[in-house]
Amino acid sequence: MTQSVVVQVGQCGNQVGCRFWDLALREHAAVNKKGIYDEALSSFFRNVDTRSGDNGPDIYKGKICSLKARALLIDMEEGVVNEILQGPLRDVFDSKQLITDVSGSGNNWAVGHKIYGCQYRENIVEKLRKTAEHCDCLQCFFIIHSMGGGTGSGLGTFVLNLLEEEFPEVYRFVTSVYPSGEDDVVTSPYNSVLAMKELNEHADCVLPIENESLFEIVNKIHQMINSGKLGSTVKQNSLVTSSAGSAKTLEKPFDAMNNIVANLLLNLTSSARFEGSLNMDLNEISMNLVPFPRLHYLVSSLTPLYTLADVNVPSRRLDQMFSDAFSRDHQLIQADPKHSLYLACALLVRGNVQVSDLRRNIERLKPSLHFVSWNQEGWKTGSPSPLPANRWDGAKLFFRSYIFFV
Amino acid sequence: MSIVTVQLGQCGNQIGHELFSVLCSDIRGTHGLCSKKENESYQESCKERFFSEEQSGVPAARAVLVDMEPKVISQTLSMAARSGLWKYNSHSHFCQKQGSGNNWANGYCVHGPRHKEAIMELVQREAEKCDLLGGFVTIMSMAGGTGSGLGAFVTQCLRDAFPTSFLLNHVIWPYGTGEVIVQNYNSVLTLSHLYHSADALLVHENDVIHKICAQLMNIKQISFRDVNQVIAHQLGSVFQPTHTAGGGSGYSRNPLGDLLEPLVPHPEFRMLGLRNIPQMAESSLAFSSFSWPGLIKHLRQILIANAHMEEGIDWQVRPPQPGSSIPSTNKPLHFNTSIANLVVLRGKDVHSVDLGSFQDPSLYTSWLNPQDAFTAWKTPRAFNKYEKSAALVSNSQFLLKPLDSIVGKAWNMFASKAYLHQYTKFGIQEEDFLDCFTTLEQVISSYTNL
């Protein structure tokens, strides 16, 4: 089983990352009833014997002692990281996995990239090496950051550069949160453009996400809950935005939106962690969706956003889920799926979905989508794993790389 | 004589497991419909061919499992062990941590050479356990990275290490509408390499099996497990022990040789298709009865009209009339010309069956005598609960259209140089692609001009 390391940079990166670890723990808790440290857990967590302090040795088998996330938390101001360390997830992170400074980057890409980059370079390399050494077979680095700020954008892309130099064989998946039209940072266009250049050259795959889309999805869900149609009560736990069941009782403003991104990452890596009838690994995603080296921007969408209390999912509903995936409302970026040109498309389905359902829906949706001439049947399918019982009846994830006509 | 199976990649391992399950349940079944002596001899022969005796009494399959990631192999091993009826040898598997990422070049150029020693060591061990080695069968898919890339490399190694053994590759043709985006590249590369090393390629197409599941077996929600079970049934109907054409009372001692020698008379023509009738849901079996003339008639028309199953056959297609000297290019369209055919009959009253219709010279090419082109194996012992069943292994134009289509799509992508950087990263250059295209175009043209 391969391992992945998550590098969270900047305020946005750390907040999303925090939600990701919370959801990951819950997902594994639902599956892993006996508390044994198995291969699925080892992809994101280490099992450490903390009786001899934080420097305890890693335990590779047997009961879970103390789980530590394979993560690196970087931020140039202390507020966000401190909050994480005081929250319920404090035991999941090692003090040696943090890099913080006091004053922040002031929304300036140059400060993040050039000044803090040079200053902290040694430190970052050392911590990355340490984390990599704990991994048996490191497959991928996930970088989570925003493009509009200073640290996430500047220092985040500096780290990306570093990763390419130090670990050229390991895949670099970057989840970038792009600023929306009404962004509150004045310099965000500059920061984004400077960061884009770095992403173009050094990332293997980029998943751009727009705040506006996340916001719309959250609104849609609220409407759905509040409209309370007869006979359609939504299962609270099933919301893609929910952190229900977590230890926190107060939900903070961006939490719902961050949960969506966290879910995306979880589903993306599910094949690496659980077994299924047609596995789809991370390197397969990169192989199939990146036809040319620089065209590595993937648009993602997630369905369903919620499940109704009715547990049986008849095929009409299933087909509806597939159709939804290609609608604007379910995408995490503002783009029109029907009028754009597709280079390639990947469908990752989890849950009780069979090959025949996949085939049927592909046949059905193909005529309405424009594929590029040399890739008319550009579909990649995978069905990694059944879902744990308290989650949705079927979750789907779609990635596409396409050109959009603006 | 024993056959060693090498299961490569996720697809290969899943199918291999279903195959051994079918073989095991067939010999345990009481539906032999023949004398006890016959049944026992059949069981002995099958066991010797596919399983080795272990100290625990549970037969161990003569198989080597190879995959670049651990999940599928561990699932396969545990499913086999759970059945209690058979198992895999606990040492006969090889896996790594990180898969091939659907990248043929990764499987062939990186994983192949790196793990050659270890894999060949396992194969050697299995081969040594056999009293008499009958040959190798490899099971792989063409669309992925490990099965296709590493599979092509392993086939080459097998050919180098065992130059005089028979080597049959069982390949799975992917769904036309894409399971993997680069499947056309992977398929082209695989087929051209296999053509150089293997004795023959036995092909199963996912689309076809899917249709069989939907229309004949009446399965509503088809899973890969269903597809694999149909494939295993079809393979089993050919590989289970049979009496060969030479007659005699014993079961064939050289299964692969007897299969390959008549079917592959010329090295240019190695693609074999497999058809099997009847196929139906198990629940309907008890209510159906078959007659040999009916089955033979259907099977012949399936061959001529290039159909995939017993429903939807085009009965209008007929072979060209004998006596008129029409050159082969004027043969009626859609008619499937064969080079050689093998029919395997199993079940009641098998010796009374008349197979004259298969010996019609108009079915075959002109450069082979119909007596040599057609072989029949008849066994009174029924297979897998079917009272009568017939299988057809055919070296004919069955695979011409799918092959042409895959090469066309791959060329289309290649012309725009899409995805090439993923392959050149690992060592496959554009020239290698061009060589592969040339090989396959040659094969297509040979089959077209039959």
Provide, as residue numbers in chain B, all residues whose Cβ is less than 8 Å from the Cβ of A379: 177-179, 181
Averaged pLDDT score across all residues of chain A: 80
Segment B206-240, tens digit of pLDDT? 999 999 998 888 888 888 889 999 999 999 999 98
Shared domain check, B248 and B114: yes
For residue B326, being part of any structural domain is answered with no
Subunit contact A290:B422, Cβ cutoff 8 A? yes
Subunit contact B70:A357, Cβ cutoff 8 A? no
Subunit contact B71:A374, Cβ cutoff 8 A? no
Tokens at A403, concatenated: 């050109």
pLDDT of A311 reads 43
Whether the pLDDT of residue A230 is over 60: the answer is no
Shared domain check, B443 and B392: no
- Please tell me which residue of chain B has the smallest CA distance to A286: B101
pLDDT of A399 reads 60
Shared domain check, B362 and B262: no
Distance CA B446, CA B424 (A): 30
Provide, as residue numbers in chain B, all residues whose Cβ is less than 8 Å from the Cβ of A377: 176-178, 409
Tokens at B121, concatenated: 């060591």
Of B177, B220, B221, the CB nearest to A377: B177
Provide, as residue numbers in chain A, all residues whose Cβ is less than 8 Å from the Cβ of B179: 278, 379-381
Q: Closest Cα to residue B34, out of B259, B264, B280, B348? A: B348
pLDDT of A247 reads 45
A40-44, A89-93, A111-115: which is most confident: A111-115
Res. A50 pLDDT band, cuts 50 70 90: low
Helices (H) and strands (E) in chain A, counts: 12, 13
Tokens at A40, concatenated: 């699925």
Instruction: Count CB neighbours of A103 within 10 A.
Output: 10
Torsion of CA A54, A55, A60, A63, to 10 degrees: -30
Of A139, A275, A291, the CB nearest to B418: A291
Return the number of CB contacts < 8 Å for A and B. Answer: 118
Shared domain check, B407 and B395: no
Of B10, B178, B182, the CB nearest to A279: B10
Distance CA B189, CA B202 (A): 17
Mean predicted confidence (pLDDT) in A193-212: 91
Query: Is the CB of residue A383 less than 8 Å from the CB of residue A276?
Result: yes
Of B102, B177, B227, the CB nearest to A362: B177
Whether the pLDDT of residue B332 is over 60: the answer is no
Subunit contact B221:A362, Cβ cutoff 8 A? no
Subunit contact A291:B71, Cβ cutoff 8 A? no
CA–CA distance from B171 to each of A36, A300, A390, B142, B174 (Å)? Answer: 39, 33, 39, 6, 9
Subunit contact B418:A1, Cβ cutoff 8 A? no
Shared domain check, B137 and B226: yes
Subunit contact B181:A378, Cβ cutoff 8 A? yes
Subunit contact A281:B99, Cβ cutoff 8 A? yes
Res. B290 pLDDT band, cuts 50 70 90: confident
Q: Closest Cα to residue B195, out of B261, B266, B258, B131? A: B266
Subunit contact B181:A379, Cβ cutoff 8 A? yes
The DSSP string of B434-445 is HHHHHHHHHHHH
Helices (H) and strands (E) in chain B, counts: 16, 13
Subunit contact A355:B223, Cβ cutoff 8 A? yes
Whether the pLDDT of residue A55 is over 60: the answer is no
pLDDT of A389 reads 39
Provide, as residue numbers in chain B, all residues whose Cβ is less than 8 Å from the Cβ of A318: none
Phi, psi of B105 (to 5 degrees): -65, -35
Instruction: Count CB neighbours of A320 within 10 A.
Output: 14
Choose one of B250, B270, B290: the last residue of a domain: B270
Subunit contact B181:A137, Cβ cutoff 8 A? no
Distance CA A73, CA A128 (A): 11
For residue B275, being part of any structural domain is answered with no
Shared domain check, B290 and B436: no
Q: Closest Cα to residue A60, out of A71, A47, A50? A: A47
- Please tell me which residue of chain A has the smallest CA distance to B11: A278
pLDDT of A231 reads 40
Averaged pLDDT score across all residues of chain B: 87
Subunit contact A287:B422, Cβ cutoff 8 A? yes
Shared domain check, B374 and B406: no
pLDDT of A248 reads 46
Provide, as residue numbers in chain A, all residues whose Cβ is less than 8 Å from the Cβ of B180: 284, 288, 380
Mean predicted confidence (pLDDT) in B83-91: 88
Distance CA A260, CA B130 (A): 56
Task: Reduce the DSSP state of residue A342 to 3 states and report it.
Answer: strand
A341 touches B at CB < 8 Å = no
Provide, as residue numbers in chain A, all residues whose Cβ is less than 8 Å from the Cβ of B103: 283, 287
- Please tell me which residue of chain A has the smallest CA distance to B411: A374
What predicted TM-score, i.e. pTM, was given to this entire model? 0.87
Whether the pLDDT of residue B55 is over 90: the answer is no
For residues B265-296, one letter each, b for 16 or more C-beta atoms within 10 angstroms of the residue's C-beta and e for the rest, the string is: beeebbbbbbbbbbbbeeeeeeeeebebeebb
Mean predicted confidence (pLDDT) in A353-367: 83
Please enumerate in sequence order all residues whose Cβ is within 8 A of that of B429, keeping only pairs 6 or more positions apart, or say none: none
Q: Closest Cα to residue B198, out of B102, B130, B263? A: B263
The DSSP string of B104-160 is HHIIIIIIHHHHHHHHHHHHHHHHHH-SSEEEEEEEEESSSSIIIIIHHHHHHHHHH
For residue B337, being part of any structural domain is answered with yes
Shared domain check, B409 and B393: no
For residue B277, being part of any structural domain is answered with no
Task: Reduce the DSSP state of residue A396 to 3 states and report it.
Answer: strand
Choose one of B383, B399, B415: the last residue of a domain: B399
Distance CA A263, CA A27 (A): 10
Higher pLDDT, residue A306 or A335: A335
Number of residues that this document lists for chain A: 406
B205 has which bridge partners? B173
Look at chain B and report how many structural domains it folds into.
3
- Please tell me which residue of chain A has the smallest CA distance to B412: A374
Of A275, A277, A366, the CB nearest to B224: A277
Q: What is the DSSP letter of B73?
A: H
- Please tell me which residue of chain A has the smallest CA distance to B75: A275
Distance CA B406, CA B401 (A): 9
Distance CA B260, CA B166 (A): 8
Res. B445 pLDDT band, cuts 50 70 90: very high
Amino acid in the structure at residue A54? D
Q: What CATH number did the domain enclosing B229 receive? A: 3.40.50.1440
For residue B125, being part of any structural domain is answered with yes
Shared domain check, B438 and B289: no
Subunit contact B412:A373, Cβ cutoff 8 A? yes
Burial class (CB in 10 A: 0-12, 13-18, 19+), A127: buried
Subunit contact B181:A344, Cβ cutoff 8 A? yes
Segment A317-330, tens digit of pLDDT? 778 888 888 887 78
Segment B362-416, tens digit of pLDDT? 888 888 888 888 888 888 888 888 888 899 999 988 889 999 999 999 999 999 8
Task: Reduce the DSSP state of residue B26 to 3 states and report it.
Answer: helix
Shared domain check, B82 and B211: yes
pLDDT of B142 reads 92
Mean predicted confidence (pLDDT) in B160-166: 92
> Which residues 133-152 of A have a C-beta within 8 angstroms of B?
136-137, 139
Whether the pLDDT of residue B171 is over 90: the answer is yes
For residue B276, being part of any structural domain is answered with no
Distance CA B418, CA B281 (A): 43
Distance CA B349, CA B352 (A): 6
Higher pLDDT, residue A282 or A157: A157
Q: Among A9-13, B17-21, B92-96, B322-326, which is the least confidently predicted range?
A: B322-326
Residues of B with CB under 8 A from a CB of A: 10, 14, 69-72, 74-75, 97-103, 145, 175-182, 210, 213-214, 220-225, 227, 409, 412-413, 415-419, 421-422
Give the 3-state secondary structure of A128-144.
HHHHHHCCCCEEEEEEE
A312 touches B at CB < 8 Å = no
Segment A257-275, tens digit of pLDDT? 888 888 888 888 887 777 7
Number of residues that this document lists for chain B: 450
A210 has which bridge partners? A178
pLDDT of A402 reads 53
The H or E element containing residue A41 is: helix A39-42
Please enumerate in sequence order all residues whose Cβ is within 8 A of that of B55, keeping only pairs 6 or more positions apart, or say none: none
Provide, as residue numbers in chain A, all residues whose Cβ is less than 8 Å from the Cβ of B10: 278-279
Subunit contact A284:B102, Cβ cutoff 8 A? yes
Phi, psi of B264 (to 5 degrees): -120, 75
Instruction: Give the domain extent around B134.
Output: 2-270
Task: Reduce the DSSP state of residue A327 to 3 states and report it.
Answer: coil
A155 has which bridge partners? none
Choose one of B399, B414, B430: the last residue of a domain: B399
**Å from A399 to nearest chain B CA?**
13
Provide, as residue numbers in chain A, all residues whose Cβ is less than 8 Å from the Cβ of B72: 275, 279
For residue B236, being part of any structural domain is answered with yes
- Helix-helix angle A156-166:A117-133, to 10 degrees: 50
Q: Closest Cα to residue B92, out of B70, B69, B113, B61? A: B61
Shared domain check, B431 and B347: no
The H or E element containing residue B334 is: none
A402 has which bridge partners? A342
For residue B241, being part of any structural domain is answered with yes
Provide, as residue numbers in chain B, all residues whose Cβ is less than 8 Å from the Cβ of A378: 178, 181
Segment B103-115, tens digit of pLDDT? 999 999 999 999 9
Of A355, A374, A381, the CB nearest to B413: A374
Segment A157-180, tens digit of pLDDT? 999 999 999 999 899 999 999 887
Burial class (CB in 10 A: 0-12, 13-18, 19+), A64: middle
Shared domain check, B71 and B53: yes
Half-sphere exposure of A111 (CA within 13 A, CB side): 16
Higher pLDDT, residue B304 or B190: B190
- To probe the interface with A, which of B179, B207, B230, B426 has the most A CB atoms within 10 Å? B179
**Å from A263 to nearest chain B CA?**
23
Provide, as residue numbers in chain A, all residues whose Cβ is less than 8 Å from the Cβ of B210: 355-356, 359
Res. A219 pLDDT band, cuts 50 70 90: confident
A394 touches B at CB < 8 Å = no
- To probe the interface with A, which of B75, B76, B98 has the most A CB atoms within 10 Å? B98
A398 touches B at CB < 8 Å = no
Distance CA B148, CA B171 (A): 9
Q: Among A234-243, B181-190, B222-231, B289-298, which is the least confidently predicted range?
A: A234-243
Task: Reduce the DSSP state of residue A392 to 3 states and report it.
Answer: coil
